[in-house]
Amino acid sequence: MCGRYASSRQPDELAEEFEIDELRLQEPLTESYNVAPTDDVYAVLERPPREDDASSERQLRSVRWGLVPSWAKDVKIGNRMINARMETVAEKPAYRRAFAKRRCLLPADGYFEWYATDAVDAKGKPRKQPYFITPKDGGVLAMAGLYELWPDPTKDEDDPGRWLWSCTVITTEAEDSLGRIHDRMPLMVERERWDEWLDPTRPGDLELLTPAAPGRLEAYPVSTLVSNVRNDGRELIEPLPLEEAWG
């Protein structure tokens, strides 16, 4: 799964990288090196044309991580819908409508996974060593995602804050070099496939999604400080000397 990631790029950087037409942000998000479920995150998406002769508009928005389907009775359902499995995303009721026409890209510097080591703690449980997984070239990671709009029943229909925008990360089996750390990983969308993936007038196509090519990502141990969501800062993604890692 993908349960934490880092996102430090500013809106203007993302606008250039993803060729954004419009920034739909009330204010920029604070850079975070410990993005956690229910946090607001950046999403690149395209809204359907409003007129027959118009084209889709590519937007950068802030959305809540943890997808809340439009039919949900309680927003808390999103707390357990931070990931959608590629194997079932096109069929599951919670995701299939979003997969059909509300797809997005979730920009990240990289993501974290925890590896159960042979070392044990005072209670006899395996110690888990966090790893940061990031593009070797330092580029942005365009994670495949879905987004939804949920109408808050406690707010008036004309209330501009009535609609909650939320998202989920699509995951797949990890490729061999990363599978030793965790058996799942986020799916990536290659740059040449961004247009097709984001186009709301096209049906969802699983063939547009691929695991990162072997060797494209690197993984290295980082401080266990990342295990606490209250910790945030660039030190969370600094490589940990191997002699300090649990192995």
CATH number of the structural domain spanning residue 151: 3.90.1680.10
- Is residue 234, in this structure, part of any structural domain at all? no
Tell whether 245 is covered by a domain: no
Active site residue 2: yes
User: What pLDDT shows up at residue 19?
Assistant: 96
In this structure, is residue 231 part of a structural domain?
A: no
pLDDT at position 192, please?
Answer: 93
Which range marks the domain in which residue 209 is found? Answer: 5-113+135-218
Average pLDDT, the chain: 90
What pTM value is reported for the model?
A: 0.92
Q: Which of 2, 46, 104, 148 is catalytic?
A: 2
The reply to whether 82 falls in a domain is: yes
- Domain presence at residue 100: yes
Question: Count of domains in the chain?
Answer: 1
In a domain, 130, yes or no: no
Residue 212 located in a structural domain: yes
Per-residue 3-state assignment (H helix, E strand, C coil) for the chain: CCCCEEECCCHHHHHHHCCCCEEECCCCCCCEEEECCCCEEEEEEEECCCCCCCCCEEEEEEEEECCCCCCCCCHHHHHHCCEEECCCCCCCCCCHHHHHHCEEEEEECEEEEEEEEEEECCCCCEEEEEEEEEECCCCCEEEEEEEEEEECCCCCCCCCCCEEEEEEEEEEECCHHHHCCCCEEECECCHHHHHHHHCCCCCCCHHHCECCCCCCEEEEECCHHHHCCCCCCHHHHCCCCHHHCCC
The catalytically annotated residue of 104, 113, 148, 167 is 113
Strands 57-65 and 141-151 turn out to be unpaired
Please report how many Cα atoms fall inside a 13 Å half-sphere around the Cα of residue 178, on the Cβ side.
Answer: 29
How confident is the model at residue 197, as a pLDDT? 96
Position with higher pLDDT, 52 vs 25: 25
Asked if the structure places residue 229 within a domain, the reply is no
Q: What is the pLDDT of residue 154?
A: 85
- Residue 87 annotated to the active site: no
For the ranges 110-119, 159-168, 170-179, 233-242, which has the lowest average pLDDT?
170-179
pLDDT tens per residue, range 153-178: 888 888 878 899 999 999 998 865 55
